[in-house]
Structure 1
């Protein structure tokens, strides 16, 4: 069995891709493709990663992982969507790097199962919106943490996805990775779903209902953080309901900025650097980049 892993980044429409694939589960099943439920994948992958980090993983660990993911059925291909392999959205940067531990975890999982049996997939996102989007989650889990403390654990201007991908691939750039950007996803979701799943004809894929998970603006997240500082609660349903209200009142925009905290000049600089980084990524060895088509008639509807 082949294992295909979408391992990051956070807040790059993974759940929307999962919904699209689940909508087409019968089509995938006919072609020997299976995506285990998120909960099953979580338990199975967690156990494998724990064994890897303790240094006692072996062929039995790999066999157990594949058996739990497949339910004991001999599928042609297994699909995992689990951005936590990259690391935590609570601490996505450190010392000027993105996901400092994630690259080694992806490599270790690949070696455990067998490089000839694993394919890796990754979605990037403009750091100018990636960090505020992650903070959307942080503020609900740790409302004591300010955006300044979260976002400036590293200098945002130092962050490059290409550097992260180089770490995953290794010194000789031997490990192939398929990459796309969050910003392109609405236009290329069929191409992404086909590349990830291996389904024969992308035009057979049917879109799931609903849009991507809504996000609140950085201003909204900061206001929610201030509100929770005065009205603390650990009740998850209450937190989610509160977040929904802030999302409705303060929807995110692609060029979100907050003066003195996340200024427009920084957002523009990060966006320009991200464009340059994507240009570089497209030319890296053993990188397959899926990008938005040039011509409107070629867009995935």
Structure 2
């Protein structure tokens, strides 16, 4: 059996991806793909993986996990998702960089030693990721500045995170994409995580676009796509981009950056670093990079 861990990251889809996939639970089950409700496994896997600390689960423990998570014994694939699989958001950033505990992917892998295990992760421009992440726990600009004390911005590299995951789970496939591209890639991301039949159309393919487009724009986009079911993925992405450009909700696509000492130059430097970092991620062995 194949088991896919979607690791987030924090401040990317905020749980929308698994909710979109869950909308298709019955349809996916017909293809042997199980998508359990997160309440069935998040705490359980957290407890078991912490207890094992990377040691392979016994056959009894592995069987218990599988039987608790799935209903269908004929399942070929299970999709699991939590932005806290690697760590809580409070410790996702620190002097040691982004996700210093990324090698805990090995703890997740060890829960299912006799099955194929893969991982998926969205990365995001630190120029917007960091403000959103620290704002979860720091309400004032001063508190947000204090939360970044000792953090070297130039060392906040997603390529390091992905490389640590890859090193912790040798041979496991890892899928990565940029959060900024998710409105255009949403249906492809859903397909990559579930591995459903490419001719199966899933509901929720515009769920992420819906967050940042006006109701009128969404209606027009949905109508456009519904009458052009034969569009290639490239043309579909181009169409979504065009509608988003024309009908985007400005408040939904802008991030308020209110961190003491940050300037436009800070944002520009972090964005340039991010672009180079993404290029490095594409070269990491075992990584499949989804891009618009």
Q: TM-score range by the shorter chain?
A: 0.7 to 0.9
Conserved? CA contact 2:20–2:204, under 8 Å: yes
Give the Cα separation in 1 of the matches to 2:259 and 2:20: 38
Q: Which one of 159, 162, 180 corresponds to residue 165 of structure 1?
A: 162
1:140-289 aligned at under 5 Å gives the runs: 146-170=143-167, 174-201=171-198, 204-207=201-204, 211=208, 251=251, 253-254=253-254, 256-258=256-258, 260-289=260-289
Q: CA offset at residue 172 of structure 1?
A: 9.8
Q: Where does the alignment leave 5 or more consecutive residues of structure 2 unmatched?
A: 213-249
1:11 aligns with 2:11: yes
Change (3 A) 1:252 1:128: farther
1:135 aligns with 2:134: yes
The equivalent of 1:238 in structure 2 is: none
Give the Cα separation in 2 of the matches to 1:49 and 1:253: 37
The equivalent of 2:119 in structure 1 is: 120
Give the Cα separation in 2 of the matches to 1:72 and 1:172: 27
Conserved? CA contact 1:177–1:287, under 8 Å: yes
The equivalent of 2:63 in structure 1 is: 63
* Residue deviations 1:250-301 (CA, integer Å, cap 9, x gap): 9565464337433221111111111111111112211100001xxxxxxxxx
Give TM-score, length-normalised by structure 1. 0.75
* Residue deviations 1:210-232 (CA, integer Å, cap 9, x gap): 658979xxxxxxxxxxxxxxxxx
Change (3 A) 1:202 1:194: farther
Q: Where does the alignment leave 5 or more consecutive residues of structure 1 unmatched?
A: 216-249, 293-301
Give the Cα separation in 2 of the matches to 1:212 and 1:30: 27
Conserved? CA contact 1:5–1:119, under 8 Å: yes
Conserved? CA contact 2:173–2:286, under 8 Å: yes
Conserved? CA contact 2:7–2:119, under 8 Å: yes
Give the Cα separation in 2 of the matches to 1:213 and 1:86: 28
Q: CA offset at residue 182 of structure 1?
A: 0.7
Change (3 A) 1:253 1:261: farther
For residue 146 of structure 1, give the secondary structure of its aligned residue in structure 2.
Answer: helix
Once superposed, what is the RMSD of the aligned Cα atoms? 3.0
Q: Tell me how many residue pairs correspond in the alignment.
A: 255
Conserved? CA contact 2:177–2:289, under 8 Å: yes
The equivalent of 2:108 in structure 1 is: 109
Give the Cα separation in 1 of the matches to 2:56 and 2:28: 34
For residue 175 of structure 2, give the secondary structure of its aligned residue in structure 1.
Answer: strand
For residue 136 of structure 2, give the secondary structure of its aligned residue in structure 1.
Answer: helix
Q: CA offset at residue 37 of structure 1?
A: 0.9
Q: Decide which moves more: 272-281 or 106-115.
A: 106-115
Q: Decide which moves more: 204-213 or 279-288.
A: 204-213
Q: CA offset at residue 29 of structure 1?
A: 1.1
Give the Cα separation in 2 of the matches to 1:54 and 1:289: 27
